A and B are shown apart, each in its own frame.
Chain A
């Protein structure tokens, strides 16, 4: 089902995002031994600024198809934030299964570093958040939200962490321990941006960005693209199938949720998963912030709500441990391409399943759970991949 994939990640990519896409697509097609003419479906994602600082692009699926010479009979545009890549994989899988397309090319990513640059240094920096309303809106009530100062989206996840601590006694050290365990995995990954020894004390001593979250609990935005092809036929890659799938969308503004903010939509997407979690060999969990991983693991059902702090202390979540989580170090150590995409977790699942993860390979990675989480706990996509027997 997965015929080929390739990615490029850079701290700051100097060229056009179309160069980045073209190179990545070429490598993915080469791995699949395909040419542009063999592709009949395309799925992409798009976020403001990630395409060479363009604030908006009309018809992004066409924009990319046009540049790389694809003539699709099936297109889709997925905007699930941090769950986008995972959702895209599933939609491509469904399109192929239903016969809408034979070979679907998925392209996700861009230049995540440009958002900050444009907002802080570019022409938009003189505009206040309120003035930006006329250019880019996120929800129908922006006038009543953007008048306040925050560090969106860090503020939201910081409030989740603060409330988790208040309700359940979760400590800064317990969240830090997750970051430390992920760094252990990153130290065996030659592509990780951040490597080197890291202790709980180091995380606690790093600057507090938004209470209670520290700098080393927050992912770093980078530039990068992942291209992958889902389709019929065989390839040099191991035969991969979707074993189980679930998704959930919570569109409401977080001040209007019926559920406590310590819950993520994973509580709903995970309910649709029909697979014994004890049989999962590696968990790839979206990690823009430490608290996201903690709440996702709870909502997946690895432990009860509120007990994740103790769970992290009592289990080894590294690649040498009993429950390997974010086996390549996750976005916390790889960086976050296109500021929310879920690229890192999906590619790591591809690598693990194909025994291509080199130094950070988990033995016998036959079943991998990937959990994407997007927006302000807005989208969740849970996927178990493996080989159907």
Chain B
């Protein structure tokens, strides 16, 4: 697959509320950010996989955005072993801290296109 085809597949997964990631079938390396080659062994034998969408907060920070809303951005370590930098959406700020469990949730942020976000698990 070419890079653009992989990116397109990612967008389709997102709209179906599935979280994709890539596994190199040559060396076994697992990564999220789309590439047409494995950054460890340069193999093109890659499989697009579907993540369970569950993981834990590796780190996070809270700030007030330009609209005055408390916003959280963080690094999420997924169970499959890769990390995503994304916003964490929750009404319970006190539940957001390092090592807490989170799960993926999809939200349309660009017209017609959903993206993965994370939310706390109660």
| Chain A residues near B (Cβ < 8 Å) | 130, 140-141, 143-145, 147-151, 154-155, 158-160, 162-163, 166, 209-213, 252-256, 261
Q: Which of B87-105 contact A (CB under 8 A)?
A: 87, 97-99
CB of B48 closer than 8 Å to a CB of A:
no
Contacts of B33 in A (CB 8 A): 140-141, 144, 253, 255-256
Q: How far is the CB of A200 from chain B (nearest CB, A)?
A: 21
Contacts of A143 in B (CB 8 A): 7
Contacts of B62 in A (CB 8 A): 210-211
Residue-wise, chain B 66-97 has the 8 Å CB interface mask toward A (1 for contact) of: 00000101110000000111110000000001
A127 to B83, CA, bound (A): 28
CB of B2 closer than 8 Å to a CB of A:
no
A163 to B63, CA, bound (A): 16
Contact of A255 with B84 in the complex, beta carbons under 8 Å: yes
Q: How far is the CB of B30 from chain A (nearest CB, A)?
A: 11
| Chain B residues near A (Cβ < 8 Å) | 7, 10, 31-35, 39, 58-63, 65, 71, 73-75, 83-87, 97-99, 109-110, 115, 117
Contact of A162 with B109 in the complex, beta carbons under 8 Å: no
Contact of B61 with A130 in the complex, beta carbons under 8 Å: no
Whose C-beta in chain A lies nearest to the C-beta of B83? Answer: A255
Contact of A210 with B83 in the complex, beta carbons under 8 Å: no
A69 to B60, CA, bound (A): 50
A149 to B115, CA, bound (A): 13
Contact of B63 with A151 in the complex, beta carbons under 8 Å: yes
Given A151-B61, A159-B60, A253-B33, 12 other A-B contacts at CB below 8 A?
Answer: A141-B34, A144-B33, A145-B85, A150-B73, A154-B63, A159-B61, A162-B61, A210-B63, A252-B39, A254-B75, A254-B85, A255-B33
A253 to B62, CA, bound (A): 20
Whose C-beta in chain B lies nearest to the C-beta of A212? Answer: B61
- 10 A–B contacts from the bound complex (CB under 8 Å): A130-B110, A148-B117, A151-B61, A154-B63, A158-B61, A163-B58, A163-B59, A212-B61, A255-B83, A261-B75
A166 to B61, CA, bound (A): 13
Nearest 5 pairs of A and B residues by beta carbon: A158-B61, A159-B59, A141-B33, A210-B63, A163-B59
Q: How far is the CB of B65 from chain A (nearest CB, A)?
A: 6
A291 to B109, CA, bound (A): 32
A210 to B87, CA, bound (A): 14
Q: How far is the CB of B57 from chain A (nearest CB, A)?
A: 10
Q: A149-B65, A253-B33, A261-B75 are in contact. Are A160 and B59 (CB under 8 A)?
A: yes
Whose C-beta in chain B lies nearest to the C-beta of A151? Answer: B63
Q: A144-B33, A148-B73, A255-B75 are in contact. Are A162 and B63 (CB under 8 A)?
A: no
Contact of B59 with A255 in the complex, beta carbons under 8 Å: no
Contacts of A210 in B (CB 8 A): 61-63
A150 to B86, CA, bound (A): 9
Q: How far is the CB of B103 from chain A (nearest CB, A)?
A: 17
Q: How far is the CB of B106 from chain A (nearest CB, A)?
A: 12
